[in-house]
Amino acid sequence: MIAKVVFLTVCCCLVGVACQHAHGAPSGGTAADHPQGIEGQVVALEGNFMPGPVVPGQLPGSSKKPLSVPVHVFRGKIEARERPDPKHPALIAVVNSDDKGAFRVPLPPGDYTVVAEIEGKLYLNIFEFDAKERKRVWPTVKVEPKKWSRWIIEDTSKAVF
């Protein structure tokens, strides 16, 4: 009888963990369980960002606007890709940035790839080349115990530098 109770308890715990992972919650529990994670902002840069003199009374030829978009969080370093894949094995959360472009994701310590989804495509304006794997990868953000890492995603597709 005790063996059946232990077996059923273990099964219920495994089902609960599987459901939490399937719904995109960061692995390992709630925000209260993780006093650390990644916080940041998604912004769009538009116009001319070339350095030059500032003329009083002249409007700047550039703007920086917050974006309210989905933000995808992956465990570890992943290959740069264009299309979102909700079944990607490293995907652990998708959150939406607010009307100020801000987002906050509680996570256990580790390395994470964080990218924005803009107009249906995954976007990060920087990437690295992994010579060993011979592919483009996005850089990671390191989360340390009891610290919040800051990550700014800038959509520079309509900006001039």
Residue 9: pLDDT band (50, 70, 90) is very low
Whether pLDDT at 25 is above 50? no
Confidence of residue 49 (pLDDT cuts 50, 70, 90): confident
Please check whether residue 38 is in contact with residue 87, taking contact to mean a CB–CB distance below 8 angstroms.
Answer: no
Give burial (CB, 10 Å; 0-12/13-18/19+) of 27: middle
DSSP one-letter code for 71: E
For the segment 106-127, what is each residue's pLDDT rounded down to a tens digit?
999 999 999 999 999 999 988 8
Q: pLDDT digit string (tens) for 67-78?
A: 999 999 999 999
Q: Find the distance separating the first CA and the last CA of the chain, reported in whole Å.
A: 71
Q: What is the pLDDT of residues 135-146, one digit of tens each?
A: 999 999 999 999
Confidence of residue 32 (pLDDT cuts 50, 70, 90): low
User: Around Cβ 15, how many Cβ atoms within 10 Å?
Assistant: 10
pLDDT value of position 59: 61
In contact, 36 and 146? CB cutoff 8 Å:
yes
Nearest CA to 102 among 31, 151, 144? 151
Alpha-carbon distance of 90 to 113, in angstroms, equals: 9
Domains assigned to the chain: 2-48+61-160 (2.60.40.10)
